[in-house]
Amino acid sequence: MDSSRIEALVAQLRAGQLSRRQFMGRAAAMGLSVGAASALVRSAGAQGTTSAKSGAAKSPTRDEVFAQIKEKYKFEDIKKQGGQVIWGELSDISTLNTTLVDDVYSNWICGFIFDGIVGTNYADGTVAPGLADSWDITDDGVTYTFHLNPNAKFHDGQPVTADDVIFTYDGVLADKSQSVRKGSVQQFVKSYKKVDDHTVEFVAKQQSAIFLLSFNPFGILPKHIWQDVKPENWGADPGSTGQDPKRVVGSGSMKFVEWKQGDHVTLAKNADYWDKNWIPNIDTFTLTIRKEQSAAIQALLTGEIDVTEVPFSQAKPLEANKDLKIDAFDTFSFNWYSQMEDPKKLDLFADVKVRQAMMYGLDRKLMAEQIYLGFAEQANGTQPVLSIAYAPDQINTVYNFDPDKAKALLKEAGWEDTNGDGIVDKNGKKFSFECLYTEGVTTYQQQLPYMQQAWKAIGIEMIPASVPFPTLSDKTNSGDFQMVVWGFSWDTTADQGSMFGCDQAPPVGFNVMHYCDKKFDELQPQQIAELDQAKRVKLLVEQANIVNDDSAAGILVFRKSIYGNRTTLHNFVPNGYSEIWSLPFWWNEVS
C-alpha cells in the first residue's frame, strides 16, 4: 500500500476537498480496510457521515455544506434582484401533500414548500442538515437523535416542533395511509419519539448503511393544519389539491401561490425563510405545462419560458443557438417498461421466459444510439450509471438483441403462431396488450413505434396508448394496466427494495409489477446493514442479477438528462442529484 497516497488523501479530507464518502471510496480502492479508513476519518476531524456506525463523527454543519457547494459551483454574483423564472414541463404535478408524492414534478414543488428533517449536499449527494441542525448516533449505530433548528417556522409563522415531526410520521404509517413512502419508513424505522420541543429520537430496525438517506423521504407537515383530517382523506383535502391555498403550508424556501391543474403551478419566495443561506433571489417560480415537447422547445426559443428539459433529438441543434445553454449530465435514471405480473390480474407476463423473450426482442443498443442519440447506454442490470453498484461487467444475463432467441423462448413458453396472422397465440389467446406512455414526450413518440415494430417481428402485438401522466400514475398504482413505458430515478442509497421487494406494491412502494423473489427479499436486510461499502456493493449486484435474470422489469437504457435554459437565466446548474436544486441562486436578466 502506498502510504504517501493515503497521507495525501487524508490531507484532502482535512482541507475539505473530499467528502467522507469520497475518502472512504478512494481509500478502499487503495486496499485500506474500512476500520482503518474510518479511524483516519476521525483523526482528520471529518464532519460528514452517511453511515450509521459513526458515533465519533459529527454531522456536517449548514455552513460547511453551503461552503462546499459554493466552492464547487462558483456561482456568478447576483446582478438583479427579484423577478420570475418560468419552467416548462410536459406533465402536471399530482399533489401538494409532501407525504403523497410519487412523481418527479410533485417532488420538486413539494421540496421547495416543505423541509425534511435532513437534506442533501448537492455537491456530492451526501446527507446535509435540513430541519435538523445536527444529529447524534449511538455507538451501536441504531439510535439517532435529531436536533431541530429552534428558529424554523412554517409559512403561517407557527414554529416547527417535534410534535409536527411525530404527527407527520404517524400519518404516513397510519393503517389507511395512502403514502407510497410508508413502506420505506416501515423498512427502516423501528420507533420514534419526542424528546423535547426541538429534539426527536429515531430507532432503526437494524444497523444501517443508509438510514440517514432513507428514513425521511418527505417533508414535515404542520400538525395544526392537518390534525383534524384522517390520513386516508389527505389526498382529497384542499391542502393537497391546492383548492385552499391557506392549507398548503410548509416551512420551505418557497410559498404556495396557486395550482391551476393542467396549466401551471406558481410558488413565491419565502423572504422570511429561517435558513438564510437558501433564501431565493427570484420572487416567483412557475412550472408551466406544455402538452407537447415541441411546444416547450418553441417557448424556450421565443423566451416565453426560461428553462425546460430538452429531448435527445434537439440537444445538438440547440447547442448552436447562442441564446441558449444546454446541459447534459449522468443521472440515477433509466427508461423502462413495467408489466403486470400478478397472475390474478393478468397471466400474460407471468412466465419468466416470456419476459426474457421480450427483452431479447429489442435492440436496446440501437435505441440508445438512434432514439436517445448517444445520450444513453444499453442498460445491463438495474443499477444506473451514478449508482455505487453500477457494475455492467458483473451482470449474469445480458439481453443483447437476439430475435431468434426471443422466438425460441416464446415457443418454449407455449406461444406459437397457429393461424398464420403473425401474432403468437396460446390456448386460443392472442399475445396482444396495451402499453401506456405519457403523452407529448418526443422521445416516446419515436420509442413506442420502434418497440411495437420490434415486438411484432417476434410475434407480439403491442398497442401503444398515450395518456396524461396523472392518469398513467393512477392506473399503475391501482393495478389497472397491462404495460407502461416510463422513466424512474433512484437516489444515492442504491437500494432498489422499494421497486422489487415482495411487499412493496402500491400504495406502500413502487413495485407496480407485483414481482416477488424470496432470495431478493432475503438479501435486502443484509445489504442495508452492511457498512463495508465494497461488501454492500457485492450484495447489491447480487440483487440486481436476481431481478435482471428474471426480467422482472424491462430496464431499457440508462439515460442522461438534458436541460436547456435561456442565457439570460444565470446560475442554473442541474446535476444528477437534482435538476432544480440551484433555484435559490438564480437571477434573471429579463424578468
Q: Helices marked H in 271-383 — which ranges?
A: 293-302, 312-319, 352-360, 364-366
Task: Report whether pLDDT(501) > 70.
Answer: yes
Pick among 3.90.76.10, 3.40.50.11540, 3.50.50.60, 3.40.50.300: CATH of 84-283+563-588: 3.90.76.10
Q: Which positions ≥6 away from 379 have C-beta within 8 Å?
A: 334, 336, 364, 555, 556, 557, 558
Q: How many percent of the chain have pLDDT more than 90?
A: 80
Distance CA 52, CA 136 (A): 10
Which range has the worst mean pLDDT, 264-268, 462-466, 491-495? 491-495
Pairing mode of beta strands 554-559, 333-339: antiparallel
332, 560 Cβ separation under 8 angstroms: no
CA nearest to 561, candidates 270, 311, 347, 345 = 311
Residues 509-525 have pLDDT tens digits of 899 999 999 999 999 98
If we measure between CA atoms, which residue out of 228, 95, 99, 248 comes closest to residue 168?
A: 99
pLDDT at position 491, please?
84
What span, in angstroms and rounded, lies between the C-alpha atoms of 136 and 54? 9
Looking at the predicted structure, is the pLDDT value of residue 311 above 90?
no
Q: What is the pTM of this model?
A: 0.72
pLDDT at 45 over 50: no
* pLDDT class of 569 with cuts at 50, 70, 90: very high
- Using the structure block, give the residue that is written with the C-alpha cell 389526498: 235
| CA distances, 335 to each of 380, 383, 399 (Å) | 12, 12, 15
> Using an 8 Å Cβ cutoff, are 591 and 83 in contact?
yes
DSSP conformational letter for 367: I
* Phi, psi of 549, rounded to the nearest 5 degrees: -60, -35
> Where exactly are the structural domains of the chain?
3-66, 84-283+563-588, 333-559
Q: Between 296 and 17, where is the model more confident?
A: 296
Fold of 333-559: Dipeptide-binding Protein; domain 3 (3.10.105)
**Residue-wise pLDDT tens digits, 535-544:** 999 999 999 9
Is the pLDDT at 299 greater than 60, yes or no? yes
Judging by DSSP bridges, how do beta strands 569-570 and 587-588 pair with one another?
Answer: antiparallel
- Residue 22 or residue 451, greater confidence: 451
User: C-alpha 453: how far from its chain's center?
Assistant: 31
Average pLDDT over residues 369-388: 95
Average pLDDT, the chain: 90
Q: Per-residue confidence at 21, pLDDT binned at 50, 70, 90?
A: very low
Q: Are strands 189-196 and 143-148 parallel, antiparallel or unpaired?
A: unpaired
Q: What is the mean pLDDT of residues 480-508?
A: 92
Strand partners, 85: 285
Q: Which residue has the cell 393461424?
A: 419
Count CA atoms closer than 13 A to 520's CA, side-chain side: 22
Burial (CB < 10 A; 0-12, 13-18, 19+), residue 146, is: buried
Least confidently predicted of 16-25, 259-268, 287-296, 374-383: 16-25
CA dist., res. 582 & res. 122, Å (int): 9
pLDDT at 507: 84
361 vs 461: CA distance, rounded Å:
12
Q: What angle do CA 74, 79, 85 make, to 5 degrees?
A: 90
Domain 84-283+563-588 and domain 333-559, same fold? Reply is no
On whether the CB atoms of residues 170 and 177 are closer than 8 A, the answer is no
Rounded to an integer, the average pLDDT of 131-153 is 96
Overall average pLDDT of the 292-301 stretch:
93
The rounded distance, in Å, linking the Cα atoms of 396 and 500 is 18
293 touches 440 (CB < 8 A): yes
Does position 40 have pLDDT exceeding 80, yes or no? Answer: no
CA distances from 556 to 315, 362, 367, 545, 561 (A): 21, 9, 8, 15, 15
Return the closest-CA partner of residue 333 out of 569, 101, 585, 563: 563
**How confident is the model at residue 405, as a pLDDT?**
98
Answer with the residue of higher pLDDT: 491 or 191.
191
Cα–Cα distance for residue pair 582/383, rounded to 1 Å? 26
Q: 525: exposed, middle or buried (C-beta count within 10 Å: 0-12, 13-18, 19+)?
A: middle
Cell of 102: 410519487
Distances (CA, A) of 575 to 121, 139, 325, 389: 12, 34, 14, 19
- What are the grid coordinates assigned to 252, written together? 420551505
3-state secondary structure of 520: helix
- Residue 491: DSSP 8-state: -
